[in-house]
A and B are shown apart, each in its own frame.
Chain A
């Protein structure tokens, strides 16, 4: 079947099977930031934004994404660049495999809630698993970014 969607701002028309998953579709279109992790909808590695909403691309049919705007980290480099350096500064990424999913969901968090508390950050990122770091580094990085932004505004 043929589907049309917008991928990182560009219109895409493609032929897919009825059971093609969105994760396979975006990777086939060069978006290798989207990682295959647990494949049980638990780890958040495959997070993409669909019409601005974070979803698990391992559990969405490409056909269901037809007509929608899909964004991966490849299309959000500028927005993500604001805070990924703060995460790196905290040594929060070790193997780095979970990082794109964390960044995508953090983008969604900060759009929805520009000034989250630490508990709100933890709650929003609860669906992003990291087997290396224990999560405190990511939290410190996001907190440092938010604090620096407040400092810049003062």
Chain B
């Protein structure tokens, strides 16, 4: 059972940052994961008054506030166009509309959850995370930060550079966590492949061997998929074994590469 001693809505990020330095204080996201924990929280820090619930567009990037719900990402026309529908595909399987209206982008990333569809997609999109104290850092670097880090994730930035993107996931049953998730993007001939729900947190890999350099064909897509599956470490849990995940990885990466080929 979750017990909270005090609830505070800070008036500034500085105030929120100062509050979150104490070990048993917690910054609230959507609270969906937090409330299932047996935990005593000193002060729950709610960022809802800090204007972090907006998706802003500049000439070069989308700047997405940490309190933006996943449902807003799913419905945003600009993000849909930028990702060729991958943003919607990445989040639409997550439980239900009501859940996605509660779950926030910041909460989804801060937990660096192994099952995270959002982390998987954003790794392939070269996203940058903005922390109030530490500043901007690549998402991959953020994902490797120690969990004891006491900072506040304020925004996620996604560059608007044109790219092709595909997102695929495998689930044992609709609305469950993914057994495996795969995001593949291509920009100026450079491919980035993120594999999530391994079940460890997502990792990002490049096409180091240039297997897709001569274009996407059934053969090159298969070779690329087998290379990715061989380089990624998989684990077993109640949803699937490591061996099963490796086989699924080959299928999803091959299909994602072929989908990029069809996007032209």
Task: Spell out A's residues near B (CB within 8 Å).
Answer: 1, 17-19, 21, 40-42, 44, 47, 53-56, 58-61, 63-64, 105, 108-109, 123-128
Contacts and interface: CB of A to CB of B under 8 A. Distances in A.
A55 B102 contact: yes
Nearest to A64: B46
A100 to B, nearest CB: 13
A79 B4 CA distance: 36
Interface in B102-146: 102
21 contacts: A19-B2, A19-B3, A19-B4, A19-B44, A41-B36, A41-B99, A41-B102, A42-B96, A54-B98, A55-B101, A59-B30, A59-B35, A60-B102, A63-B7, A64-B48, A105-B96, A125-B96, A126-B96, A126-B175, A127-B95, A128-B96
Q: Which 5 pairs from chain A and chain B are nearest by CB?
A: A127-B96, A19-B4, A18-B7, A63-B7, A18-B4
Contacts of A59: 30-32, 35, 102
A109 B5 CA distance: 36
A40 B44 CA distance: 19
B98 A127 contact: yes
B97 A124 contact: yes
B188 interface: no
A44 B31 contact: no
Contacts, number: 80
A5 to B, nearest CB: 13
A35 to B, nearest CB: 13
Given A64-B48, A108-B97, A56 B4 contact: no
A11 to B, nearest CB: 20
Interface in B68-97: 92, 95-97
A5 B147 CA distance: 36
A59 B4 CA distance: 13
Given A41-B32, A61-B31, A56 B99 contact: yes
Interface in B1-59: 2-7, 28, 30-32, 35-36, 41, 44, 46, 48
A61 to B, nearest CB: 6
Contacts of A54: 97-98, 101
Given A18-B7, A18-B44, A56-B102, 18 more contacts: A17-B4, A19-B7, A19-B44, A41-B36, A41-B99, A54-B98, A55-B102, A56-B98, A59-B30, A59-B102, A61-B28, A63-B46, A123-B92, A126-B96, A127-B95, A127-B98, A127-B175, A128-B96
B60 interface: no
A75 to B, nearest CB: 17
B78 to A, nearest CB: 19
